[in-house]
């Protein structure tokens, strides 16, 4: 077990190195000049700026410096955030995205498992049909439509009641998070509901369920102990990719609701050509996703004793 974890971590580190390298060279080949926006600077200032950001050196020297700094956990100075280190910007913005993402994942996971189990229980009766229609909606409507409609919903609700039930945008309290997290989790929830339903229905016909039934185990117990627990396994497997989907979904939700998270920071960094911040954010996201996949794999092994870690 520790050996497996170690192996996975080493693989993860190599993957992150690859991501960082790819990011570096893509960024280096972006047409345009990172200092182009600086208004009318003299040649001397320009040289100083280039020296400050190491732009005067050869590509490989820049790459080496970047990698060494990254190993030390230093992503350099932001171009646009007034001399602030990229690390600081990430450290400030990431927790916001993380809280929003965790909330969304919790909503999506619990909702998906619950609705999926319900549809399987009420198969082909009206709760099943209604939920399936909602699931189809959830899968085919883009997240930005949910986000805008969600925001419009708050606006209208506030107007109808005459005072502010929920804040329309911004960040700070739990009330700011509710609708964005729900919107962010909707797509994943629909997907998980469908998955849960399929896996519940597959398990209904499994041998151990039939055995339990013939032994006279109460229906509720069969459902809770045998069917539900086994059906939830595939849901856990896709939680890793879902985390990735939810982080990227954060781009839109953070933009629509004006939430100061990492997704919005990235989009802003791209719009302002803040090269170091773009690079730092990309590598950070990549490393985070790699870590999440490893964690999900390990968690999976704990839940399902049939999976042997080697």
Partner 1 sequence: MNLSFTPATVETDIEQTSRPSLSYWQDAWIRLVANKRAITSLFVIICLLLFAFVAPHTIWRVKHDIQNLDRASEPPWVNRKALVLSDNDTWNDVVVPDAVGEHRAPTSLEVVGEAATSRVRLMWDAVPNSHGYRVYRNIVEPREGAPLGLSIGVVNESTLVSFEDRLDIRQKPYWYSVVALHEDGSEFDTAKTLRVVPQRSIYVSEALALPGVDSAQPGETVALVWHPLGTDYLGRDMLARLMKGAQVSLTIGIVAPLLFMVLGIVIGSVSGYFGGIVDAGLMRFTDFVIALPFLLFMILFKLMFVPPEGEANFLSSVQDFLGIEGGILAMVVALVLLSWPGIARLVRGEVLKIREQGYVEASRLLGAPNRWLIGRHMIPNTMGVVLVSFTFAVPATIFTEAFLSFIGMGVVPPTPSWGSMCNDGIRTMETYPHELLFPALFISITVLAFNLLGDGLRDALDARMRSSE
Site string for partner 1, 89-108 (x = CB under 8 A): --------------------
Which one of residues 154, 186, 252, 277 is an interface residue with partner 1 (CB under 8 A)?
A: 252
- Candidate ranges 81-89, 175-183, 212-220, 251-259; the one touching partner 1 (CB under 8 A): 251-259
Smallest gap from Cβ 116 to partner 1, in A, equals: 13
Phi, then psi, of 280 in degrees rounded to 5 = -60, -45
Secondary structure letter of residue 58 according to DSSP: -
Looking at residues 32 to 61 of the shown chain, list those that interact with partner 1 (rule: CB under 8 A). 32
Q: Which two tokens stand for residue 207?
A: 């041998």
181, 222, 243, 289: which one contacts partner 1 (CB under 8 A)? 289
Q: Which of residues 201 and 309 has its CB atom nearest to partner 1 in the complex? A: 201
Closer residue to partner 1 (CB): 96 or 290: 290
Site for partner 1 in 149-188 (CB under 8 A): 152, 155
**Smallest gap from residue 44 Cβ to partner 1 (A):** 26
C-alpha 287, offset from chain centre = 12
Residues 70/283, Cβ–Cβ less than 8 Å: yes
The answer to whether 117 and 222 have CB atoms below 8 angstroms apart is no
d(CA 171, CA 177): 7
Q: Does residue number 295 form part of the binding site for partner 1 (CB under 8 A)?
A: no
Report if residue 68 touches partner 1, rule: CB under 8 A. no
CA distance 94 to 86: 12
Answer for which of 202, 213, 229, 307 binds partner 1 (CB under 8 A) is 202
Rounded CA-CA distance 153/293 in Å is 35
Among the residue ranges 17-25, 96-104, 108-116, 164-172, the one whose residues contact partner 1 (CB under 8 A): 17-25
- 278 lines the binding site for partner 1 (CB under 8 A): yes
CA distance 199 to 193: 10
Rounded to 5°, the CA angle 277-93-145 comes to 95
| Residue 198 interacts with partner 1 (CB under 8 A): yes or no | yes
The enclosing H or E element of 15 equals helix 2-28
> Does residue 139 interact with partner 1 by CB under 8 A?
yes
SS3 state at 85: strand
CA distances from 243 to 79, 151, 184 (A): 29, 23, 11
Q: Which of 131, 277, 282, 296 binds partner 1 (CB under 8 A)?
A: 282
Please enumerate in sequence order all residues whose Cβ is within 8 A of that of 88, keeping only pairs 6 or more positions apart, or say none.
none
The alpha carbon of residue 261 and the mean position of all alpha carbons in its chain are separated, in whole angstroms, by: 12
5 touches partner 1 by CB under 8 A: no
Task: Please say which residue, 223 or 285, places its beta carbon nearer to partner 1.
Answer: 285
- The residue (of 18 and 302) whose beta carbon lies closer to partner 1 is 18
CB of 204 to partner 1, least distance (A): 9
Rounded Cα gap, residues 51 and 204, in angstroms: 67
Query: Which residues of the shown chain bind partner 1 in the complex (CB under 8 A)?
Result: 15, 18-19, 22-23, 26-27, 29-32, 136-137, 139-145, 148, 152, 155, 198, 201-202, 244, 248, 251-252, 255, 266-267, 270-271, 278, 281-282, 285-286, 289-290
């Amino acid at each position: 077990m520790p050996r497996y974890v170690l192996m996975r971590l080493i693989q993860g580190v190599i993957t992150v190195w690859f991501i960082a390298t790819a990011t570096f060279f893509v960024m280096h080949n972006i047409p345009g000049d990172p200092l182009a926006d600086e208004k009318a600077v003299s040649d001397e200032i320009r040289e100083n700026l280039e020296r400050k950001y190491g732009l005067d050196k050869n590509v490989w020297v820049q790459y080496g410096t970047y990698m060494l700094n990254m190993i030390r956990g230093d992503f350099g100075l932001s171009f646009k955030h007034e001399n602030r280190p990229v690390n600081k910007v990430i450290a400030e913005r990431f927790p916001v995205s993380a809280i929003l993402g965790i909330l969304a994942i919790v909503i999506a996971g619990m909702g998906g498992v619950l609705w999926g189990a319900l549809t399987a229980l009420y198969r082909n009766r009206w709760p099943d049909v209604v939920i399936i229609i909602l699931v189809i909606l959830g899968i085919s409507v883009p997240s930005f439509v949910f986000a805008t409609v969600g925001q419009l919903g708050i606006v209208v609700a506030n107007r109808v009641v005459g005072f502010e039930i929920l804040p329309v945008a911004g960040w700070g309290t739990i009330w700011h998070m509710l609708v964005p997290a729900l919107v962010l989790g909707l797509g994943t929830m629909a997907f998980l509901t469908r998955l849960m339903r399929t896996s519940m229905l597959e398990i209904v016909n499994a041998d151990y369920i039939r055995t339990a039934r013939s032994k006279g185990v109460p229906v509720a117990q069969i459902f809770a102990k045998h069917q539900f627990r086994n059906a939830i396994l595939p849901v856990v497997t896709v939680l890793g990719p879902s985390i990735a989907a939810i982080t990227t979904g954060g781009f839109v939700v953070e933009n629509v609701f004006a939430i100061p998270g990492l997704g919005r920071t990235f989009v802003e960094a791209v719009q302002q050509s803040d090269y170091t911040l773009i690079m730092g954010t990309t590598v950070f996201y990549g490393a985070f996703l790699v870590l999440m996949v490893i964690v999900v794999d390990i968690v999976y092994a704990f839940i399902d004793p049939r999976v042997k870690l080697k």
